[in-house]
Amino acid sequence: MKFVDEYRDPETVKKWAQAIAGITTQPWTIMEVCGGQTHSIIKHGLDQLLPANINLVHGPGCPVCVTPIAYIDKALATAQQDNVILCSFGDMLRVPGSQDDLLSLKSQGADIRIVYSPLDALNLASDNPGKQIVFFAVGFETTAPTCALAIYQAKQRALTNFYMLVCHVRVPPVMRALLDAPDNTVQGFLGAGHVCSIMGYHEYHAISEQYKIPIVITGFEPVDILQGIYQCIQQLEAKTYRVENQFKRVVTEQGNITAQQLMQQVYITVDRQWRGMGNIVNSGLALSPEYDAWNAEKHFSVADIQPDEPKECRSGEILKGLMKPAQCPAFNTTCTPEHPLGATMVSSEGACAAYYRYRRYQND
């Protein structure tokens, strides 16, 4: 199968692991900023194939995991209002808010539905004119264009019963925030291939230059990831820094221009709170004033909901690469997928979920 089997071939994986060992002369810490890469690394044991002095840390690359608790509470408050059908991707339903989660609320009778696309929610609004349909829009730049298209079409179709609760976030600002932090240990990045398929990687040159750090845009299969690590270590060992594109079969420097133009029309850039990480400047996308009529926060008066983050969850340290999931005292004890303390244990892309699924009986 083209572009799948060859990127999972055991002999090729072994070759790249040996190549990495052959060029590594000192310790290096590399962070992936993509939940899909995190799960691939842990599932296939790629970190265990590397020299002991290569430390792979898992960054804030899971969109569900970084969605602040305030937006979970806003979704809960919206879903409880009259004639509302709240639509969401499935992995948001068990993310804990300050008091509850969407799945529990659904079991109590709220009309909360799992959809596979924001366009499904748009069609639901068209088919149910007596209901108010709200789509809970979370995710990085990867999912932002389809949500923008749904809002654009709602305006074109003059649908007055469709709304969007928008909590999209952007990757480059959080990379800067990580590098600016006084406790930062990251020396190189594996860039998120899916995000860059939309946005390209032209924004990353300034980050690499300012912080003198290599950034390698990387895919998701085992060979992709090992190639990305190899390219990153090559630069670190040579004391160079630039942006490289390992994922050339999908990503171009400019990205998907059409998707970017649609996003620029529908969204504005705003500061955004990240779960466990605090406020990050210019890291969020919100609906522009032109689309206020479809803004769920304003229509349902939930914008002022701002609960405190729970202190017992250590997900902030995990998302910053300062702790690995198995090092958290709550991991696989008081925090499990059945009773999660935070989103990193719930999401299919969460680091804690990856360690629980593939490594909970190991000492990492």
Q: Which of 343, 354, 315, 356 is nearest to 92 (CA)?
A: 343
Within a domain: 209:
no
Mean pLDDT calculated for residue range 132-159: 97
Within a domain: 139:
yes
pLDDT tens profile 185-233: 999 999 999 999 999 999 999 999 999 999 999 999 999 999 999 999 9
Confidence of residue 311 (pLDDT cuts 50, 70, 90): confident
Q: Which of 21, 31, 20, 17 is nearest to 187 (CA)?
A: 31
pLDDT tens profile 287-299: 999 999 999 999 9
Total structural domains in the chain? 1
Range of the domain at 96: 66-171+256-299
**Residue 265 sits in a domain of what CATH number?**
3.40.50.11740
Q: Which of 200, 181, 317 is nearest to 247 (CA)?
A: 200
pLDDT tens profile 33-63: 999 999 999 999 999 999 999 999 999 999 9
CA distance 24 to 16: 12
Percent of the chain with pLDDT over 70: 99
How far out from the chain centre does Cα 257 lie?
21
Within a domain: 117:
yes
Within a domain: 238:
no
Count, residues in the chain: 364
pLDDT above 90: residue 4:
no
Provide the H-helix boundaries in 128-250. Answer: 144-156, 171-180, 193-199, 204-211, 222-238
Mean pLDDT calculated for residue range 143-156: 97
Within a domain: 127:
yes
What is the model's pLDDT at position 309?
Answer: 79
Within a domain: 141:
yes
What is the model's pLDDT at position 342?
Answer: 87
Confidence of residue 364 (pLDDT cuts 50, 70, 90): very low
pLDDT above 70: residue 123:
yes
Within a domain: 49:
no
Pairing of strands 162-169, 278-287: antiparallel
- Residue keyed to tokens 């709200």: 134
Mean pLDDT calculated for residue range 134-155: 97
What is the model's pLDDT at position 363?
Answer: 53
Residues 6+ apart with CB under 8 A from 189: 30, 31, 32, 33, 59, 175, 213, 214, 215, 216, 232
Q: Which of 155, 71, 79 is nearest to 112 (CA)?
A: 79
Within a domain: 224:
no
Helix (H, G, I), strand (E, B) or coil at 159: coil
CA distance 325 to 319: 10
